[in-house]
Amino acid sequence: MRCDVAPPTRPAPGRARSPSKPARLVAGVDEAGRGPLAGPLAVAAVILNPRHKIEGLDDSKKLTEARREALYAQIVQRALAWHVVLVEVEEIDRINIFQATMAGMCRAVAGLKVAAHEAWIDGNQLPKALPCPGKAIVGGDALKPAISAASIIAKVTRDRLMRAMDVQHPGYGFASHKGYSTPEHLAALRQLGPCSLHRRSFAPVKLLFDQGSLF
């Protein structure tokens, strides 16, 4: 799956570069899209190259869209390795968003073309099936550059996808709210009913399905 081009393509592992000398390689891991009512969850893992530093890395939510896009381009160009995966709506509904997040983090780390010695996870929960030792860091997306980079990769990937999905599912406003429960989105849900991108296990989508709404 591809992610180094604009949507509607799906993500894939990024390029890998070998460091000049042995080093302890740490992968930053973060996600985008746990809270929305619609769309997949994006999870990214990034191993930064200490010889090619990237200035301005931060929690993706604190950055403007233009700044995220600029940093995304630098990350995919300069990182030792990066990988981003999408956990689709069907899996989220089947195993719940927490388990989907844990699974996505494991897949993102496992997909790196350079094996990480350790994974730093944003948050207070550590996936049990990581392919390497891990550490959970609360607020890590603002504290650790590698996690910030993963946050940006995940956010940009998901936002691009949701803009593409707006064309396929017009009327919901996915390009603007990216699937989150804004007044605009809730009004569209009431008027149009859920579409195939909506998470059936999330209220108020679940309520509409329970009432017999069709998509």
pLDDT tens profile 150-163: 999 999 999 999 99
Q: Identify the pLDDT of residue 210.
A: 75
> What does the chain come to in residues?
215
pLDDT at residue 6 greater than cutoff 50: no
Q: What pLDDT digit, counting tens, does each position of 97-136 carry? A: 999 999 999 999 999 999 999 999 999 999 999 999 999 9
Confidence of residue 15 (pLDDT cuts 50, 70, 90): low
Instruction: Write 172-177 long-range contacts (CB < 8 A, 24+).
Output: 172/38, 172/197, 174/38, 174/39
Q: Identify the pLDDT of residue 168.
A: 96
Quick one: how far is CA 37 from the chain centroid?
15
pLDDT at residue 191 greater than cutoff 90: yes
What does pTM read for this prediction? 0.87
Burial class for 212, CB neighbours closer than 10 Å (0-12, 13-18, 19+): exposed
134-137 and 81-87: which strand pairing? unpaired
